[in-house]
Each structure stands twice: as C-alpha cells, then as structure tokens.
Amino acid sequence: MLLRRLFLLAAACLWAPLAWGVTAQDLINDLNNQTGQKQIEAAIRLSGYPSPEVVTALSARLADVKTDLTVRAACATSLGKLGDPSALPLLRSFAAKGDEKTLVRTSSIMSIAMLQGSDATPELVQMLKTEKTPMVQSAIEGVLARLPDKTRIALAVSPLLQDDLAGPSAIRILGVIGDPAVIPPLSKLLDSSKASVRQATIRALGDLKSPSVVPPLLAFYPKGNDAEKVQILSALASHSSPDVIKLMTSELENPKTYAALRQRSALSLGALVARPALPTLVRVMRDPAEQDGLRMTCAQALGYFSDRDDDAVTALIDALSDKAITDAAAVSLSRITHVYLGTSKDKWAEWYQRQRAPKPPPAH
C-alpha cells in the first residue's frame, strides 16, 4: 500500500499540468488554506512552478507535522521535482528521522536522489548502514538501484555485503544493477552461515541473467537445502547450458528427489525447450505411478516445445485419454499448434495425421 502511494505521488508530480490562469500564488494559497484532495493537488502541481517562494511554501508544509501525511509526502516529492538544492537539508533531516512517518521518509529519500543523481550514492549508502525500518530500507534499495552510475553504486555497496544489517540490501542492489563484475564477491556469500544471506545471494545472482552465474550456482547446489535448490533451479531457468540441463533432467528423473525440485526442474526444462530432456518429460508424464501434479507439470512443460517436435505432440495426444492430465495436455497442444480442438483424442489424432501427410505437388 505504501509503495503504491509513493508511485502515485511521483507519477502525479511527473504529469502535473500547468493550468491556464492558475498562478503559483494561487496554488500556495490552496496548499495553506485548503484541505483534502485540493491541498494534495496544490502540493503536486507546485512542482511545475520553480521559484524560491514555492520551495519555501512546500518546505513549510512538509515541516508541519500537523499537516495531513499524504500532503507532506507530496510536498517532499515536489521539492525533488523542482530541482532546487536548497531543499536538501530539510529533506535529509526527514529522511534520517527515525520517528518520522514512513511515507514522509521514503518520499524525502526519493527526492534526495532526484536532486543529486548519482552524487547521492554516499549518503544513501550511509543511511542503509543504520536503517532498520523495512519499507525505508526498500526505498533506499530501489533508489540506489535506479541511479545511473552503476559502477559507482557497486563500489559503494560491495563493502556492505558482510554487514549484518545492510548486507541483504546490498546483495539485492547488486543483483538489480546487473553488473557482471559483482558476480565474484556475490558468489562468496553462497557459503555464508546465514540462510537469509544465501537466499538473497541466489536471488541476486539469478537477477543478473549472466552466463557467469552458472558455475557458482552449480557448485553450491549440492550443499544447498531443498528450498535453496528450488531457488537455484529458478535462477538457472534462463540458462540452457548442457550442465544446467543435465542437472535438471537428473532431478526430474529421480523419484526420491524433493517433489518441489522435480516440479521446478520440469517447468524449467520446458521453458528452456531442452530437447535432450524431452524423453524424460514424456516418460514422467506417462507414468501413472508418478504424482498427478508432477505429471500435469510435465504436460505443461511440453507445451513450450514446437509442433515440429513429433515426440512432444504425439505424447500429448496420447495423454488426452488419461483423465488425470487431459486438460493440461489439451492446453499444451493448443499452445504449440495454435489449433483448438478441445480434449478429444480422436479429433487431435485425425488433425495431426493430416498435418503429417505428404502434401500434393502444386498444380501446373
């Protein structure tokens, strides 16, 4: 809810129109004398009237703790949009004030970044070292991850990786900024004794989408617990290297493997269109001794393949006679063929036979 309010405030300030005939003084009067929506609108629209008087009016309303919370947050956001650095001391005081309302603090943090750009990196990182409010931590993370100088951010955040309080935030930021140079320091955290650090690291490495994350994730996989292994398989779902496909196929084949791991492996193999794993997906889908949920997942995974993959299409048509997976098979058939014939095996078989029949030569 808080993030939604922040987004709406920022969006409103971005698109605040300058109404014909409305002066800055008119809006300042509304800001000081109106209430409710009119007061909020005045605070938002003042972001389009840069002047010292507007900065003074917005600053005064932000500093007035008796003013409505949303109005104060709108004032903080507009101060950032105005681009006047004279507002920085006030914004900093509210950003750092631990007993202040979270919406006001997060709006102030966003405006500090708007006013300074990447130059805000040192003070935002410093805030992160001591901040304990989750929503404020998230706001700082989001602001840092969106600043343009990614190298500067990575260098500033990396020393926090081992920090008990700021470490998880640093891991998430490095994952979001997408610089492959952070992979080595992040990979070292996979051996942390703290499960929360390991899980955050796996997510961050997965967010990077770089092939360089595959070796460290595969190396850690045997040491991870079941939940971490599921995370790793999800993180590897965009990497079609032979070693990744081999691991996922092995997990899917093994009936003793944790059920969630087998399901995640099946879905990832489908998403990767891993043709070497096609026989395994078909076999598990057809095996009545397997759990129905896993068999349905394999049927769904086959839906990622092509209508030129005869083994996938024929297996799905056969599966239409299996009540446990009929619907999943029909959906996958429609997905890969772009034909909609319901759950009738006879109709699908007849259609597929026609598709495979030799085409007559064109008439001359």
Mean pLDDT for back-to-back runs of 10 residues, the chain (364 residues): 50 48 90 92 94 96 93 96 95 89 94 94 92 92 90 86 86 84 88 88 88 95 94 92 96 94 95 95 96 96 91 95 95 93 93 80 64
Whole-angstrom distance, CA of residue 112 vs CA of residue 90: 10
Whole-angstrom distance, CA of residue 221 vs CA of residue 230: 10
* Six token digits for residue 236: 């590897």
Provide CB contacts within 8 A for 182, sequence distance 6+: 154, 158, 174, 208
| Domains of the chain, CATH where assigned | 1-116 (1.25.10.10), 149-239 (1.25.10.10), 241-357 (1.25.10.10)
Sign of CA dihedral 279, 281, 285, 287: positive
* Six token digits for residue 50: 């840069």
* Six token digits for residue 303: 């839906």
Q: Report the amino acid identity of residue 148.
A: P
C-alpha triplet 349, 354, 357: angle, nearest 5°? 125
* Six token digits for residue 351: 């259609």
Confidence at residue 356, expressed as pLDDT on a 0 to 100 scale:
80
C-alpha separations of 360 from 173, 305, 307, 357, 364 in Å:
60, 27, 21, 9, 12
pTM: 0.68
